[in-house]
Amino acid sequence: MKVLFICKNNQFRSQMAASIYNQITGTEDADSAGTYVGSVAVPEGTVIEGYFRTPDFFELMEENGMNIRGNRTKKLLPEMIESASIVVSIVQEPFIPDFLRNNEKVIWWGIADPSFATREVSEKTYSEIKSLVEQLVSSEGASL
């Protein structure tokens, strides 16, 4: 089952969610993308580590067995939605493209988009996302 996690910049929440999903399922079935990637502020293909002022987020992920420092940003394209079995959107207005709205594949998660990923913010977000990913995997019949 191909799962696509989407957030605004594809730097934090969607990268975290895809990594957690892949770790829990023991697959590489999840990917991530951003709706604002490709803008002047967020060029596509940028290594995500460069966006963070502290290593807190990456250290937390590594402590949990996931090294994503070298991951690169990807722009969300309509064909990515079509090729996924499930799409999980963590995007808030005004960054939701029309092709994402009212799509039956999309599950909407309300996870805050922090302006600064401190250790505390990273831990809170990780806990929220991990719980939601576990629920998603369980509801899809995959074993944890």
**Domains delineated in the chain:** 3-139 (3.40.50.2300)
Kindly provide the residue ranges of all beta strands, DSSP E only, lying in 25-143, ordered along the sequence.
Answer: 30-34, 86-89, 106-108
**What is the per-residue pLDDT for 102?**
87
**What is the per-residue pLDDT for 39?**
86
- Residue 56 is which amino acid? D
**What is the per-residue pLDDT for 131?**
98
**What is the average pLDDT value for the chain, to the nearest integer?**
93
**What is the per-residue pLDDT for 142?**
46
For residue 60, count other CB atoms closer than 10 A to its CB.
Answer: 17
**What is the per-residue pLDDT for 144?**
40
Q: Is 33 helix (H, G, I), strand (E, B) or coil?
A: strand
Spell out, as residue ranges, where the chain has pLDDT lower than 50. 142-144
**What is the per-residue pLDDT for 15?**
97
Q: Do the beta carbons of residue 32 and residue 55 sit within 8 Å?
A: no
**What is the per-residue pLDDT for 143?**
39
This prediction's pTM: 0.93
- Edge-first strand order for the sheet with 3-7 is 30-34, 3-7, 86-89, 106-108
